Amino acid sequence: MVLSTRNTPDDNSIESVKAMIMELSQNMVNMNNQMNDQNRTVNEKIEGLLLQNRYFKEDIQRLRSGGEGTGRNASHYTRSTKLEFPKFNGDDVRGWLYKSQQFFSVDRIEEDEKVRISSIHLQDKALNWHQNYVRIHGEDIDWTTYAEAIQKRFGSVIDDPLSELKNLKQTGTVQSYYGEFERLINKLEVNEKYAISLFLGGLQKEIELAVRMFKPKTLEDALCLAKLQEDTIVAVKKRSAPLLPLPKSNLYSICSEEYLQP
């Protein structure tokens, strides 16, 4: 009898092929999903760049036409400069209000956004005050009212910069004296002539008299002359100082021989 030797497929081989086909199919699906995600991200970036480009074009056209421009487009354009709003923890409220106003002006912030933006940058006791203030008065507060309130809370109770300036005297270098003078003069609205008079009045006499001879017309000129005179005094003192100090016994003997003889 002759047996048939016809070949039959191996079951294990078939299962392996099926597994490979399924794995390949899954990899293709994953690759397709990744490509879709990448395409979506690229499309979003392109849309963002196109939107930003449109803002830029609108602002360029506005600037060329001489218009000021307000609203979202103007804010988006200026905020691309990444200016940092000043933080405030309760110290130097005058300086913080000044820098805040500068930020609002440069970044063209809308009036109804000023309090909200500033509150995000409050810290410590300033933040505690703000939370209590809006709890009592509500969050619909205009910036002028808010600025006056925070000035009353953190400003000095007795604030008389003019009196402080009149009593301010130079005790160290001209530079350190001017630093304190500048801090106080910035709180006042005085003309240049009066500011110069106040500055000269606080200088050391040997510096003041020399500077007054030149009759400076600006505060910057007065400061420059005061520094020059200060440097001159220091140089003269160094040049006139003895190279080596004389012993007290020798100094006494010289004086006694020359001036103490009967």
Ranges 46-50, 122-126, 136-140, 201-205, most confident: 201-205
Q: Quick one: 234 and 176 in the same domain?
A: yes
E strands within 14-143? Answer: none
Shared domain check, 227 and 168: yes
Count how many Cα atoms sit within 13 Å of the Cα of residue 234 in the half-sphere of its side chain. 9
Instruction: Report how many domains make up the chain.
Output: 3
* Alpha carbon distance 95, 207 (integer Å): 31
Given a contact cutoff of 8 angstroms between Cβ atoms, the answer to whether 80 and 141 are in contact is no
Q: Is 256 domain-assigned?
A: no
> Residue 147 corresponds to which tokens in the numbers above?
């600025």
Q: Is residue 258 part of a domain?
A: no
Q: Is residue 205 part of a domain?
A: yes
Question: Of 177, 174, 168, nearest to 233 (Cα)?
Answer: 174
Please say which residue of 134, 154, 174 terminates a domain: 154
Residue 154 burial (CB count, 10 A): 19
Q: What is the pLDDT of residues 102-158, one digit of tens each?
A: 888 888 888 888 888 888 888 888 899 999 888 888 888 889 889 888 888 887 655
Q: Does 149 lie in the same domain as 108?
A: yes
Q: What is the CA radius of gyration of the chain?
A: 39
Average pLDDT, the chain: 75
In this structure, is residue 12 part of a structural domain? no
Residue 229 in any domain: the answer is yes
Share of the chain above pLDDT 70, in %: 66
Q: Which residues contact 44 (CB under 8 A, 6 or more apart)?
A: none
Judge if 165 and 150 occupy the same domain: no
CB neighbourhood size of 165 (10 A): 22
Domain region containing 218: 161-240
Among 154, 169, 194, the domain boundary falls at: 154
One domain, residues 183 and 198:
yes
140 vs 220: CA distance, rounded Å: 44
**Tens digit of pLDDT for each residue in 19-35?**
777 777 777 777 777 77
Query: E strands along the chain, which residues?
Result: none
Model pTM? 0.43
Of the candidates 101, 106, 75, 76, the residue with the CA atom closest to the CA atom of residue 88: 101
Quote the longest CA-to-CA distance of the chain: 164
In degrees rounded to 5, what are phi and psi of residue 228?
-60, -40
39 found inside a domain: yes
Is residue 262 included in any domain, yes or no? no
Whether residues 232 and 170 share a domain: the answer is yes
- The answer on pLDDT for 165 being more than 90 is no
**pLDDT tens-digit readout, 75-118:** 433 444 466 888 888 888 888 888 888 888 888 888 888 888 88
